[in-house]
Structure 1
């Protein structure tokens, strides 16, 4: 029996790396893709003992790069049976400090990326009468949290795309799964980009992305994601907070928006003038210089080390 081929976009680190590992452990040959050659090669080395893995460089925001990627994967490994789109960017800061470029990057990666990838693999899946497509969205694609506006904009689009795709694929043998996770301990606070008052934004985001009561163990999340995608489920919702948030917003959307407005009032304000540089988490951490926040974020920092999230020292 031929080995099933899986393509995991955004798999050089974090959740994507863990999803790829889970698929390898279940006997799939896995194609990794990311924008950074050094990172995706390092990920392939970390995963090599788990099975057949190939690294590729691709910007999923580019239709032409995605088409070329899928052609290379199918030439090297065979037809793509499973696609999981995980690639993402997180920009943290008040709306006043967000630029058009922030929105363009978020939408290109987290909305156009899943569209480009799905459209590249769907013709083959349809012709074979089988296939699994999973798109990792976010609770931020169901409930728009403050200080994450470009992220929420792209994720809301990804939710609509994947839910609509699932309906249109009904009865074809191909499924589309909308994955809606809450916060997960992947070390993402070290890779997120911070604008506005960068240090103050990092001070709230790092604990939120790390504390056990607020975030989920990433390895358990990866197992549940792969389970849901391979079974062809329409939705996989992770973390109790995500489930509660979706239900409350569905029943009382105006109340949810009001609550988010109250949350916004306690988050850091925009500097004057509002324009400021955008810096990665490890630089925001240095700007903050808080040993207390570093201690609170210990679990997340350990996850960053384990899941290839640490910035290379250059």
Structure 2
């Protein structure tokens, strides 16, 4: 039986690639985006298989209404993909409270609201999958991407707990951690830049420049990422976390090694803080 997908941020990048992969697999997709005109070609090419849904994931009332509409139309949601997002570059001191709150709304509170909205329907059927699109920046952070990584770290923490809570209910959770892929993430107008301070030119300046220069040259292929996502979902025992791309694999592996080495060097002190027996 074909699955019913709800994919946010579906108008471009990973979202569009996931819609195309799901359709190729014979599934039905509700493709959600703030601006749906970019989906007109897919809706026309796959009548009855792709439907566009206008949705701002930071609007809690709209989230509830959208989920209810999908369930009423199709009877269920088998796969939720929380993909809507954007990049932001800036040092912690450069990032305003409003900028931080906006990225948290988009990357944490929006996905959390969608997850809460679909769970009652998935629980009733004791099946379903929730896919959280985070980033290799959901595992580690570096200068200039504090707000972005903070939001992705938060979503990963929520999702790891969620996976343990819903596994007995027959629901899967998959955290996808892409590296640099050829999406519009770093394109003109897509990447938000906090107002720069001269003090951070040495540490954050190169990040601002390299992200812009990488646009259209990233090594990752979104179509292959979408295919890998479907492969993982269809596995008998899907992973909790799925890094994607050689850069993500290398960076995450190196970070895990460094974390283990740091822990080992401080383990004696770490273990010295309990009450004496």
Contact 1:133/1:229, CA 8 A, preserved across alignment = no
Q: Distance in 2 between matches of 1:28 and 1:98?
A: 41
Counterpart in the other structure of 2:158: 161
2:44 corresponds to 1:48 = yes
Counting only pairs closer than 5 Å after superposition, residues 26-175 of structure 1 correspond to structure 2 as: 26-36=25-35, 40-50=36-46, 52-175=49-172
Deviations 1:250-272, CA, capped at 9 Å, x for gaps: 2323989xxxxxxxxxxxxxxxx
Contact 2:12/2:38, CA 8 A, preserved across alignment = no
Contact 1:5/1:80, CA 8 A, preserved across alignment = yes
Deviations 1:47-77, CA, capped at 9 Å, x for gaps: 5324511111222123222111101111223
Q: Distance in 1 between matches of 2:172 and 2:223?
A: 24
2:181 corresponds to 1:177 = no
Contact 1:44/1:53, CA 8 A, preserved across alignment = no
Flag the 1:60–1:152 CA change in 2: closer, same or farther, 3 A.
same
Q: Distance in 2 between matches of 1:254 and 1:4?
A: 40
Shift of 1:120: 0.8
- Gaps of at least 5 residues in structure 1 are 257-314
Counterpart in the other structure of 2:272: none
Deviations 1:233-257, CA, capped at 9 Å, x for gaps: 322111122122223222323989x
Counterpart in the other structure of 1:312: none
Q: Distance in 2 between matches of 1:56 and 1:108?
A: 20
Deviations 1:273-301, CA, capped at 9 Å, x for gaps: xxxxxxxxxxxxxxxxxxxxxxxxxxxxx
Contact 1:11/1:17, CA 8 A, preserved across alignment = yes
Counterpart in the other structure of 2:213: 207
TM-score, reference length from structure 1? 0.73
2:222 corresponds to 1:218 = yes
Q: Distance in 2 between matches of 1:111 and 1:189?
A: 20
Q: Distance in 2 between matches of 1:255 and 1:11?
A: 40
Shift of 1:23: 0.8
Counting only pairs closer than 5 Å after superposition, residues 231-310 of structure 1 correspond to structure 2 as: 231=235, 232-253=238-259
Counterpart in the other structure of 2:231: 227
Give the match's secondary structure for 1:185.
coil
Q: Could you list the runs of 4 or more consecutive aligned residues of structure 1 that deviate by over 6 angstroms after TM superposition?
A: none
- Gaps of at least 5 residues in structure 2 are 198-204, 263-277
